[in-house]
With several copies, the nearest count.
Chain A
Amino acid sequence: MTQYEPLRLYVPEPTGRPGRHTDFSYLHLSPAGEVRRPPVDTQPADTNDLAYELVRVLDDTGRAVGPWAAATDPQLLRRGLRAMMKTRIFDARMLIAQRQKKMSFYMQCLGEEAIAVAHALALDSGDMCFPTYRQQGLLLAREDVDMVEMICQLLSNERDPMKGRQLPVMYSYKRAGFFSISGNLATQFIQAVGWAMAAAIKGDTRIASAWIGDGATAEADFHTALTFAHVYRAPVILNVVNNQWAISTFQAIAGGEGTTFAARGVGCGIASLRVDGNDFLAVHAATRWAAERARRNLGPTLIEWVTYRAGPHSTSDDPSKYRPADDWAHFPLGDPIARLKTHLIAIGAWSEQEHEAAQKELEAQVAAAQKQAESYGTLTDGHMRSAAEMFEDVYKDMPEHLRRQRQQLGV
């Protein structure tokens, strides 16, 4: 009777699955150096093209090309390379420690090191990041965060600064511009906007930087963050780390198919960029551009960082169940450490020898930190914060009922 075919439910799928290679053409890459760099006071609606292109600086031979290639101090690049190497070494060792049951859980950022590290080096101290669990690079890029303390938290031992209350990787370092990580996805995204609004209300000069994964953009707080940031022109950088996966779920299920996460920003009236997240120079340049906008009262910028989650989601995950085992090897944006190393060697600011020496030195550093942290206890050896502390910090002052409960526990 009707002229129409039956309706059908469409369910997106990745092209690759275990035993079947991924066709990465879905990524729509732009060649390095080809995407324009508008002035920082550009109108948000005028960034529409940038939300679909990909800002890249490093070409395949390691040269820095195009309008986003800034004259960056090689000293800073070397610092960045070392921080990325340190992050990768740190992750690798902590993974082993988790397998040895010294800690309950771990999450690495393998393959995504450039994003947090270059971002950290492009911000000012005093700026506040609202990270997810995959931005340990923000901390490891800084000189003022003690690895021993971080590992004490991972081990949930008696020096754990979170007093044993948090999952291992859920750090909080106010003094280092690192907001307390929540286990509930996306909540920090709107909080960052609130922090930025507060800075604006108080006439501060510090800005906020909000972090979220591709998968978590489907949560409400992504939308509220974009809305509030746009309405009040909040001085905030809205970072979406699109590492293609959310546990077992391909980014198309979060809405990445046929559009980009950056495009969401433009729709909401926010200047937006889509950037090669494995290109240290592009990350640094784009962050600087966005930070400049925020500091000049020009409002928020959304940046989609395109990268790949090279490791399992967490120590509870086994990606070989849902994607090709060697997927990362084929990911067209490569390895951020290898790419920056090639660049530095190409410009004569680094060498294989220096790289090897740095690798050894950093391995020793991390190992020493781990050893020291373990001397304060690990999850399983009983050297942990006292049960009495469990009742503290629920409120500023402990109410009567918690005193009674603590007493009942007999601690």
Chain B
Amino acid sequence: MTPKTTPMTMIQALRSAMDVMLARDPNVVVYGQDVGFFGGVFRCTEGLQAKYGKSRVFDAPISEGGIVGTAVGMGAYGLRPVVEIQFADYFYPASDQIVSEAARLRYRSAGDFTAPITIRMPCGGGIYGGQTHSQSPEALFTHVCGLRTVMPSNPYDAKGLLIAAIECDDPVIFLEPKRLYNGPFDGHHDKPVVPWSKHPLGEVPEGHYTVPLESASVFRPGSELTVITYGTMVFVSEAAAIETGIDAEIIDLRSIWPLDLDTLVNSVKKTGRCVVVHEATRTSGFGAELTALVQEHCFYHLEAPIERVAGWDTPYPHAQEWAYFPGPARVGAAFKRAMEK
């Protein structure tokens, strides 16, 4: 019997994941700034406090360090806290607790204590949020061993990955591309927003299911070119493929690190050409690691240099947002360069 599905936005899918896990596991708690009574500034936790009570779902002081620090302590106790950082741009005060503590606790104590925590954070631009409501800091987390970094691109994956993250015994950084909350945004900011209800990946099972960590999805099969990407850029890459007419195979990493290397290596070996796309700043972005991995594993199959398309190496500007954002035109141009050589 196939499970019952409902059309959900990404916000509803994330909420549903937390709802399922709060109901299934008494050790799951959810907290963060404004997540309690109000239900979060993006409304991801709306209704959960009323349903599960104030000691399972509650507001936290404006202290990302305190939120993650208490989560580490709760994890050490045996809970599975799911905390929200209001915007990924605000994780920095929690860096020490994330990097020096959550990520290393199992290792340094030889497994005596662990930190099975999930840290949710909306990321990415495209909402005129300026430099402090638009960042995509995933690369920083991938340099920290012990962390898992995940970024879904659609409601189905969002729910399945969030449940997998909550059930995972490692600390998981769960990045949510906020521009995808309400629909599959393809980078054409001047066109009307398409809602998730119009997209097959907006059909989400109601109960418990997981999308396993470390598994990429071939979002769009193709033969001429491999595109490795994640988050919002999945849809932008799709638009670029359609607009350029290039038969690109688009791989949605879903788990950024540790990742599903085989899927991407197999694809590049098949196509011989590769474009890496992300919204984050280019230099030392995760595209650098992807480029390095591909050239290490597929060197003799590559027919052209691997192209990187990314945000410019500047803070995310406010007014020039769309000149900053790596939209379909820039991505498409890279596809063409990768095909020309």
Contacts and interface: CB of A to CB of B under 8 A. Distances in A.
Contacts of B105: 180
Interface stretch (B85-93, B196-204, B243-251): B85-93
Contacts of A273: none
A275 B81 CA distance: 35
A162 interface: yes
B56 interface: yes
B3 interface: no
B169 A396 contact: yes
Interface stretch (B57-65, B174-182, B227-235): B57-65
Contacts of A255: 61
B89 A184 contact: yes
Interface in A55-93: none
B313 A221 contact: no
B66 A190 contact: yes
Interface residues of A, number: 84
A185 B319 contact: no
A176 B29 CA distance: 26
B69 A409 contact: no
Nearest to A411: B323
B111 A393 contact: yes
A184 B314 contact: no
A124 interface: no
A144 interface: no
Contacts of A396: 106, 114, 168-170
Interface residues of B, number: 75
Nearest to B92: A184
Interface in B35-80: 36-38, 41, 54-56, 58-63, 65-66, 69-79
B145 A394 contact: yes
Nearest to B73: A194
B5 interface: no
B120 interface: no
B142 to A, nearest CB: 11
Interface string B265-307: 0000000000000000011000000000000000000000000
A220 B319 contact: no
B6 interface: no
A17 B318 contact: no
Interface of A: 8-9, 11, 13, 17, 104-105, 128, 130, 156, 160-168, 170, 172-174, 179-180, 182-187, 190-202, 208, 215-216, 218-221, 224-225, 227-228, 231, 246-249, 253-255, 316, 321-322, 379, 384-385, 387, 389-391, 393-396, 399-402, 405, 409, 411
Interface of B: 29, 33-34, 36-38, 41, 54-56, 58-63, 65-66, 69-79, 81, 89-90, 92-93, 96-97, 100-101, 105-114, 128-133, 145-146, 148, 168-170, 214, 258, 261, 282-283, 312-315, 317-320, 323-324
13 contacts: A11-B54, A165-B317, A165-B320, A184-B100, A190-B73, A194-B73, A199-B77, A221-B65, A227-B63, A246-B33, A384-B319, A394-B313, A394-B315
